[in-house]
Each structure stands twice: as structure tokens, then as C-alpha cells.
Homo-oligomer: A and B are copies of this chain.
Amino acid sequence: MSTKKVGIVGASGYSGEELVYRMLTHPHAHLTAVTSRQYAGQTIAQVFPKFSQYALARTLRFSDPNVELLATQCDIVFLALPHGVAAEFAVPLNNAGVRVIDLSADFRLKSAEIYKEFYTHDHPAPDLLAKSVYGLPELYRQQIKEALLVASPGCYPTSILVPTLPLLKAKLIRPQSIIADSLSGVTGAGRKVEVDYLFAECNESVRPYGIPKHRHLSELEQELSLVAGEKVTMQFTPHLIPVNRGILTTLYLEPLGTPDQIREALQTAYLDEPFVRLLAGKDLPDTKNVVGTNSSTSPGVMTRGPIALSS
């Protein structure tokens, strides 16, 4: 595989930081641009001292984001920007033939109306919705390889869709019975400077939030419905727990088949998938076994929690 020139726009948040790390250490990536209005002029090593050991981190400097320049510097550009802002980069970069992998929610939905319902503003580039590919490699690997615009799935949806979709496809669960109870580390909220995310507000505490209608429900129900062949509505309760990283989702699903059939459907689906590991026998998941372990060959999926199926 040839080495690709890679840029990261909005590289100063937690997602951006992780992307920078993965691109610095990726055998087929060459990081050529990192942008951040706040840190323009500083090297990666100055902003993220823990990457100082990488020679490139000591020389590559953050710059102000500039679409024209990025188009000349990069084969692929990651967007780690807030939703609503990504389009102004995605459109011209795609037009210039540059592949875009967007980490925001902007290109995950197929419907501009549902986008507006959940994100409370008009979609900035509705024409692109039909072209973007939902970047879950277990579901859309071939399309991702060819896509000009990849929408990286949300963290919660990844942990929920991976175990659910094969069972839905095999008609082994009742589509309208899906309940997901999810626990997330605090970086999931991004580097937001709000009182809710202060150390003493999160430490020694746990709380649900964003119910009953968390934004991730929009992409969850879209993908579940596509696979089920009917409109799916589900229950989703996210909780904030005092760890930096990691998601654990416990699913409650009404089975239409036997435990053996369910086990087999999952094994068949994920036998050859490098990023999904099925636990055997009485083993139970633990986030410390997965946090930070995703190989850099699937950059669209930043974190993937383990799965507890309660069937």
C-alpha cells in the first residue's frame, strides 16, 4: 500500500489528539498538515508534549485552516470539527478530489429533516448526504474504500450497532425491542469547558444524561431501520462515568432464536473482522481490555467498547 498524505483539521481536541497520534504512528500515513486557529504556529510537540518522541511532531507546526492549501498538501483530510462546521471544508476538498473523513455528525444521516430535528439547525450541505458513506467498516467496508466522503460513526452507535446488526439481519431479535444502556468516559464530550465536566463534578460520581432523545439516536435508528427493513425505534440511556476513555454498552434484546443461533450469527459475522473480538464462555467485557487498542487501519472508528449481550 502506498503512503498517503494526510491532514487533520481541528486537531486540538481529544479526537484530534488521538488522530494525530494514529497518523504519526501509521505505516501508510504521512501527516502533512494539522490545523488549529488556537495553536497556529506551534509544533505538535509543543501542543501535545507526549508526542515529542516522534521526529515529525517536533517539526510539523499547526497552521490556520486553509482549504486551498490543504487540497495541495493532502490526499486525505480528517475533519475533527463541531457539527455544522465540517461542510465548509468537506465541499471544496471533495471538489478538489481530496478524500474527507469527517468525525462530526454532519454526514452520518441520509435525511436533512432528521438532521434538523436532532441538531436543531438546517443542514449546511444537504446535497452531500447522499454521497457520504457511514464509516462503519464491518457494514460498509467496500463503500468506505471508494468513498470521497466518509462520516465516522458516533462513539455510542459503534458500540451498539456492531453487536445488534448481525442479529437484526438474521431476524434473531425483535426489531422494536432494542434497549441500549451505555457508559462513557468523560472525553466523549470533547474538551468542553463547562462546569459539568470539571474534575470534581465527574469524579466519584455517575449520572445519566441526554435522555430521552440523545442525538446519536438519529444515526442509530437510521442504520437499524436500513438493516431491519422497517422503521426501528429504540431505547438508549447514556451515562457519564469517571474514566477518561472507553464505552461499555449493555444491550437488552428480545430474542427470536435460541442462544446458540445468536452466538452463531455473531461468530459468522465477525470471524474475520480484525476489530471485533467475541468473548468466549463466561468471559465478560472490561473496557481496560480495549481502550486505545484499535489498530490504525480503521481510522474512522476511534474507540470501540466491548459488548455485553443479554439475550
Contacts and interface: CB of A to CB of B under 8 A. Distances in A.
Interface of A: 14, 49-53, 179, 181, 183, 185-187, 191-195, 197-209, 211-212, 235, 237, 239, 241-246, 248, 250, 252, 274-275, 277, 284-295, 308, 310
A183 B206 contact: yes
Count of this chain's copies in the oligomeric assembly: 4
A183 to B, nearest CB: 5
Contacts of A203: 186, 199, 203, 242-244
B308 A206 contact: no
Contacts of A287: 205-207
A39 to B, nearest CB: 13
7 contacts: A51-B293, A53-B275, A183-B241, A192-B198, A205-B287, A205-B291, A208-B308
Nearest to A250: B237
Contacts of A308: 208, 211, 237
Nearest to A274: B53
Contacts of A206: 183, 241, 243, 246, 248, 286-287
A287 B242 CA distance: 12
**For the complex of A and B, 10 pairs with smallest distance between CB atoms:** A205-B288, A49-B289, A207-B286, A199-B202, A181-B181, A186-B199, A50-B289, A187-B200, A199-B199, A200-B244
A178 to B, nearest CB: 11
B194 A197 contact: no
B204 A288 contact: yes
Given A198-B197, A274-B53, A205 B286 contact: yes
